[in-house]
């Protein structure tokens, strides 16, 4: 398993261990790492706007982890490492806009240009 997959697996396990007011276990329903230990908990249909919002909120979550002195240093460092190549909100919204204006209809848009 390459470093990116190991980092993602560590992050997914971290999210599992944190008590959050929402249900992060839904993330694992389509986790490509399910075969190595991340068991699906729920199956949800996700709309492009919801997916876009989740990606942007994940960046915000990683930013808050990376700067929170109450969080262990190893977790802060991992959040910083993951953020290094993480898309900005502007890039995610732009990708959604490009997908919405595609002329082929082979698949539905994966992202959206809006998060409302």
Q: What is the mean pLDDT of residues 79-93?
A: 95
**Are 105 and 63 part of one and the same domain?**
yes
- The pLDDT value given to residue 96: 93
**Are 110 and 64 part of one and the same domain?**
yes
- How many residues are given for the chain? 116
Cα distances (Å, whole numbers) of residue 51 to 56, 100, 111: 9, 14, 6
Q: What is the pLDDT of residues 17-73, one digit of tens each?
A: 665 544 444 445 555 555 555 555 555 678 999 999 999 999 999 999 999 999 999
More confident residue, 3 or 28: 3
pLDDT at residue 85 greater than cutoff 50:
yes
pLDDT at residue 10 greater than cutoff 80:
no
**Are 39 and 65 part of one and the same domain?**
no
Residue whose entry in the numeric block shows the structure tokens 């991340």: 38
- The pLDDT value given to residue 25: 47
**Are 39 and 59 part of one and the same domain?**
no
**Are 62 and 104 part of one and the same domain?**
yes
**Are 28 and 85 part of one and the same domain?**
no
Query: Domain span at residue 94?
Result: 47-116
Q: First CA to last CA across the chain, in angstroms?
A: 37
Q: What is the mean pLDDT of residues 81-86?
A: 95
Nearest-angstrom CA–CA distance, 70 and 80: 15
**Are 68 and 14 part of one and the same domain?**
no
Report the number of distinct structural domains present in the chain.
Answer: 2
Average pLDDT of the chain, as a whole number: 79
Nearest-angstrom CA–CA distance, 20 and 10: 17
- The pLDDT value given to residue 45: 78
């Amino acid at each position: 398993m390459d470093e990116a997959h190991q980092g993602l697996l560590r992050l997914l396990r971290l999210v599992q261990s944190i008590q959050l007011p929402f249900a992060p276990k839904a993330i694992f329903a389509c986790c490509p790492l399910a075969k190595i230990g991340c068991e699906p908990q729920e199956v949800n249909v996700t709309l492009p706007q919801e997916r876009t919002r989740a990606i942007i909120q994940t960046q915000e979550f990683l930013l808050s982890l990376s700067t929170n002195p109450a969080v262990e240093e190893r977790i802060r460092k991992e959040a910083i490492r993951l953020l290094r190549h993480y898309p900005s909100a502007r890039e995610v919204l732009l990708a959604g806009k490009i997908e919405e204006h595609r002329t082929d209809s082979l698949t539905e848009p994966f992202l959206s240009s809006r998060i409302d």
